[in-house]
């Protein structure tokens, strides 16, 4: 699996190229995954994984240059799904920030997930340098195209004709005479 991880002091953002099965159809399709996670102990339980279709990854990639140019945050993607009867909303936001205190500026990606309750809202912000932010755009654009595939899953339900079946191998072994066994094999 192809992946790239961007780290900040307290959080990380992993971008990876993967596959997802299409419910019983016998096909897998390409996807781009974003995984935002805190680096603190116990962070695995607080990570957020977003499975993006190629068009969604491409859309985020196309929004990054606009954020750089305008120096303003821009919401890039809202993703909704149902799990265990609860509707979850995941938001991927692209940010541009500037500190009034220090004069420093930068960019970042914030991934948020909520089940409709503000008490259960989880936000993971990953600050990035200008170079890393541009590189993220390039990776997303490239992998969006690379993830545009659909593969038929081949289920092997029979062996090739020239490969002996277990019963044939047993029968063949039972029919061996002592002279068929080489003498230099230690028993």
Domain that holds residue 94: 2-152
Number of structural domains, the chain?
1
Using one digit for the tens of pLDDT, what is the confidence trace for 110-168? 999 998 776 788 999 999 999 999 999 999 999 999 999 888 877 555 545 555 444 45
Q: Would 163 be classed as within a structural domain?
A: no
Using one digit for the tens of pLDDT, what is the confidence trace for 7-56? 999 999 999 999 888 777 788 899 999 999 999 987 788 999 999 999 99
Angle, alpha carbons 140-145-148 (nearest 5°): 120
- At residue 79, the pLDDT reads 86
Question: Which pLDDT band holds residue 178 (cuts at 50, 70, 90)?
Answer: low
Mean of pLDDT over the chain: 84
Instruction: Read off the tokens for 6.
Output: 């961007």
Q: Would 173 be classed as within a structural domain?
A: no
- From 147, 186, 187, select the one nearest 28 (Cα to Cα): 147
List the CATH number of the domain containing 95: 2.30.31
CA distance 135 to 156: 41
């Amino acid at each position: 699996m192809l992946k790239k991880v961007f780290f900040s002091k307290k959080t990380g953002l992993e971008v990876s190229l993967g596959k997802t099965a299409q419910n019983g159809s016998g096909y897998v399709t390409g996807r781009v995954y974003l995984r935002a996670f805190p680096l603190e102990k116990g962070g695995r339980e607080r990570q957020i994984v977003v499975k993006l279709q190629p068009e969604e990854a491409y859309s985020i990639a196309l929004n990054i240059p606009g954020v750089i140019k305008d120096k303003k945050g821009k919401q890039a993607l809202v993703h909704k799904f149902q799990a265990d009867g609860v509707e979850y909303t995941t938001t991927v936001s692209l940010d541009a920030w500037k500190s009034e205190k220090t004069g420093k500026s930068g960019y970042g990606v914030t991934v948020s997930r909520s089940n409709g309750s503000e008490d259960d809202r989880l936000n993971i912000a990953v600050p990035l340098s200008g170079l890393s932010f541009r590189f993220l755009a390039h990776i997303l654009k490239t992998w969006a195209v690379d993830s545009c595939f659909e593969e038929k899953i081949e289920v092997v339900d029979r062996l090739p004709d020239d490969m002996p079946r277990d019963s044939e191998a047993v029968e063949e072994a039972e029919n061996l005479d002592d002279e068929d066994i080489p003498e230099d094999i230690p028993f």
